[in-house]
Structure 1
């Protein structure tokens, strides 16, 4: 039931994008989206991560990093990372985490330019992220502000999947991206850089996928 409802909402969102007076959204809606019934190993994927100015729902996007991949590997040549312009006073506690200060933020690209880039690359692909609800919500918020329409996003959350593969672990840090990677014998990466975190999530998902049945359906892993 949940999967059917999610698919219905996704299709309704694409229909709204089709009627939009913007090339990015119409191309997004017209992309060849994978069926939920295909094996997950056949799905086209895009790992995406945002660095934000804090945890508020209206937090500014300060950096976006993304990379396309599938079960055969990660296309490093297509990796993208952009700093996003912000002219406001930033949250000191957030700056201490991601290291993007106000001077650097003022030199970034416009949010509209960054959004057009990652929406173009996301068209026809399933978003992969660790804690993917954040990326989904940010994309919806940005597209609503830019186009008046929330672009629908179909995603796979490596955090949720790790809870499924390794349930009932104790400790608040047990399911963090770095801890999950360690359990799958993946190397440690510097955290809180958008592209580095996107690549880390892509590698983690491929490791997780190798532990799932070969015929696991894409629809059984998706969320909306």
Structure 2
């Protein structure tokens, strides 16, 4: 695992580094990845959630991005950030899910600015998502369209962590964020807002970490699978 992790990070960095020069992502490509042997309490996690106009990254757009930071096993109280993102496409039927309307999106921040802020947060950190594949697909497509270079990031997926836990118990169950939280006795939250979902994912992540045992002995490699994008 450690060899594949290092090789993938090095390969992506080498392949894309020339495209990252002069962009807000340059520092991400020059920095080494967090080591898999790093202690959990020594790591910085940026827990993210995105809202989109649909589920197809080739036809739909990012509408908002929210994140919150975990340091030393705790959510940093003033770290929450929520950005509406300007989109050329209409919100359409997706407004029923996230409540965002065309009028709000029209005057929002540019996706390039929000991604630059995300890149600054991501440096030296591990990103955490619930259903990482979907959010990362939208973020990377937006990055290529605006900055001409994807982010380089190490990430964890609370959905995959939960799937692995259930598989070890010989169980199969829904992996929706709300139902994953229910299994750990976490309280109901107002969801389908990028920032509130980021907080909900952060709480789930900390509950999953607590389930794994002594946090003082936990290493990044224990939170398998660790992804590189």
Distance 2:16 2:76 in 1: 28
Is 1:5 aligned to 2:42, yes or no? no
Spell out the pairing of 1:49-60 with structure 2 (5 A cutoff). 49-58=49-58, 59-60=60-61
Pairing 1:40–2:44 present: no
Bigger CA drift: 207-216 or 195-204?
Answer: 207-216
* Contact 1:29/1:123 (<8 A) preserved: no
- In the aligned structure 2, how far is the partner of 1:12 from the partner of 1:69? 28
Secondary structure of the residue aligned to 1:45 is: strand
- Give the 3-state SS of the residue equivalent to 1:78 in structure 2: coil
Task: Report the equivalent of 1:85.
Answer: 86
Contact 2:9 2:33 in 1 (8 A): no
Unaligned runs of 5+ in 2: none
Give yes or no for the alignment of 1:107 onto 2:107: yes
Give the Cα separation in 2 of the matches to 1:196 and 1:148: 30
Write the deviation string for residues 138-192 of structure 1: whole angstroms up to 9, x where unpaired. 2322222233222222111101111222335455xx2211111111121111111
**TM superposition shift of 1:129:** 1.0
1:218 aligns with 220
Question: How many Å separate the matches in 1 of 2:172 and 2:148?
Answer: 43
> Is residue 129–residue 135 contact of structure 1 (8 Å, CA) maintained in 2?
yes
- Greater shift, 120-129 or 139-148, is seen at 139-148
Structure 1 segments unaligned to the other structure (5+ residues): none
Residues 71 and 158 (structure 1 numbering): CA distance in 2 closer, same or farther, change over 3 Å?
A: farther
TM-score, structure 1 length as denominator?
Answer: 0.88
Structure-1 separation of matches of 2:43 and 2:103: 40
Do 1:71 and 1:206's aligned partners in 2 also have CA atoms closer than 8 Å?
no
2:188 aligns to what?
A: 188
CA contact (8 A) 2:126 2:156 kept: yes
Aligned length: 220
Aligned counterparts of 2:74 and 2:188: Cα–Cα separation in 1: 19
TM-score norm. by structure 2 comes to 0.87
C-alpha change, 1:139 and 1:32, in structure 2 (3 Å) is: same
Report what 1:177 is aligned to. 177
CA RMSD of aligned residues (A): 2.0
Distance 2:198 2:115 in 1: 16
